[in-house]
Amino acid sequence: MGRLTIQTSIYSFSLKSNSSDSVSLSLPTKLFIPFRTPFPPTSSMAPIAVGDVVPDGSISFFDENDQLQTVSVHSLAAGKKVILFGVPGAFTPTCSMKHVPGFIEKAEELKSKGVDEIICFSVNDPFVMKAWGKTYPENKHVKFVADGSGEYTKLLGLELDLKDKGLGVRSRRFALLIDNLKVTVANVESGGEFTVSSADDILKAL
């Protein structure tokens, strides 16, 4: 009979040979294998915050000549004071009846305090955003822009999972004040709530 013992950094085991034709394997009854490095957690990008430089990325909108434009956020915001406010969806009740009308009504006052651009942002296609914007004939200053695939929303770290409601992944409700690409106010709602991201909330911060 022969015995071969194998030692590893984790455990040892033995091979016994009763004859030239048979080999038995003996393993410990309990085996604990230490993992030196845990699997990395999966997490989304941290939400945009005060002091951050707003990330660059592409957004789309129809201009005053009804031409579709796709531009970088930095090209719209560099050297300017910009309000970027996001909504979970075009034509949805809170967005349509409260959030957007507030910025349209307060636009002149906001601009008198040095705001150059007021941008309404949503994970919708630009045709939907164009149609939504046309429901506000009194609007003169709010630009309706689209993040069709949600890529820019991901860069902001402001995704909102609404798949259980059949809406896919949208944007959280928020309002950012951006001064020459730097975020000076970041009012981000929990889910689709509407408590801190109104035009009045931004006015208080100006």
Considering only residues 146 and 27, tell me which one the structure prediction assigns the higher pLDDT: 146
Residue whose pair of structure tokens reads 């164009």 in the numeric block = 130
> Mean pLDDT over all residues of the chain?
84
Tens digit of each residue's pLDDT (9 = 90 or more) over 69-122: 999 999 999 999 999 999 999 999 999 999 999 999 999 999 999 999 999 999
> pLDDT tier at 8 (50, 70, 90 boundaries)?
very low
Task: Give strand pairing partners of 59.
Answer: 71
Is the whole model's pTM more than 0.95, yes or no? no
Neighbours of 94 (CB within 10 A): 15
Considering only residues 40 and 87, tell me which one the structure prediction assigns the higher pLDDT: 87
Average pLDDT value for residue range 137-153:
97
Name the pairing type of β-strands 142-146 and 117-122: parallel
Average pLDDT value for residue range 143-170:
93
Q: What are the residue numbers of the active site?
A: 95
CA atoms within 13 A on the CB side of 95: 25
d(CA 38, CA 200): 46
CA atoms within 13 A on the CB side of 28: 11
| Residue type at 2 in one-letter notation | G
pLDDT exceeds cutoff 80 at 25: no
| 9-13, 35-39, 138-142: range with highest mean pLDDT | 138-142
Residues 88 and 100 sit within 8 Å (Cβ to Cβ): no
In this structure, which topology does domain 52-205 adopt according to CATH? Glutaredoxin (3.40.30)
pLDDT exceeds cutoff 80 at 201: yes
